[in-house]
Amino acid sequence: MARSFEYKHPTTYAEIVEAETRAHARRRAELAKAEKMIRAIESDLKALCDQRVPYAVSSYSMCLVDVRDDISGRAQYAVRIAGGIFFETRDLLPRALVALGWIAERVKLSKYDSTVVFRRPKTQVRVQVDASVELGTALTKSEACT
């Protein structure tokens, strides 16, 4: 039987340092797991940087996510890249990926935003980004989305 764990907020300096050390170790493990895919997209990240397209490297970005369609299928991993947090800059990253030749493989629409999985042609390298509903709908209707 699993133990129940009650979260205790750190209150002393030693507890705060210990909590941050654990968080840092988790993040390093996420980056190590995603290293192969991140190295595969380094040239595209440099191109995005040269175009001044914002993307994050924080805790909710640059980690592997499973993007398979159904639970019974084979796992398909993508690097999650968080774009701009502001509404005006949200579509810059997906549009730049399309301009770099990435193919919109899958689009999941929700009420307020959409999640797009892009794949580099002729490879298994995938990235997942957020986009507006309008851009997600346009990518769904385009012939680039398979």
What pLDDT shows up at residue 144? Answer: 46
Q: Which tokens in the block code for residue 66?
A: 């499973």
With respect to residue 94, please indicate whether it lies within any of the assigned structural domains.
Answer: yes
Cα end-to-end distance, the chain, whole Å? 45
Is residue 5 in some structural domain?
A: no
Residue 129 lies in a domain: yes
Burial of 48: CB neighbours in 10 Å, binned 0-12, 13-18, 19+:
buried
Look at residue 1 and tell me if it is in a domain.
no
The residue length of the chain stands at 146
Q: Is residue 132 part of a domain?
A: yes
126-131, strands of its sheet edge to edge: 63-66, 77-80, 126-131, 114-119, 103-109
Asked if 62 and 80 count as a contact pair (C-beta separation under 8 A), the reply is yes
Residue 7 lies in a domain: no
1, two tokens: 């039987």
8 belongs to a structural domain: no
- In Å, how far from its chain's centre is CA 59? 10
Q: Structure pTM?
A: 0.83
- Classify residue 2: in a domain, yes or no: no
For 53-93, write each residue's pLDDT tens digit. 989 888 889 999 999 887 777 889 999 999 866 767 788 99
Domain total in the chain: 1
At residue 71, the pLDDT reads 78
Q: Which residue range(s) make up the domain with 90?
A: 13-141
Question: Which one-letter amino acid corresponds to residue 115?
Answer: T
The candidate with the shortest Cα–Cα distance to 45, out of 90, 93, 95, is 93
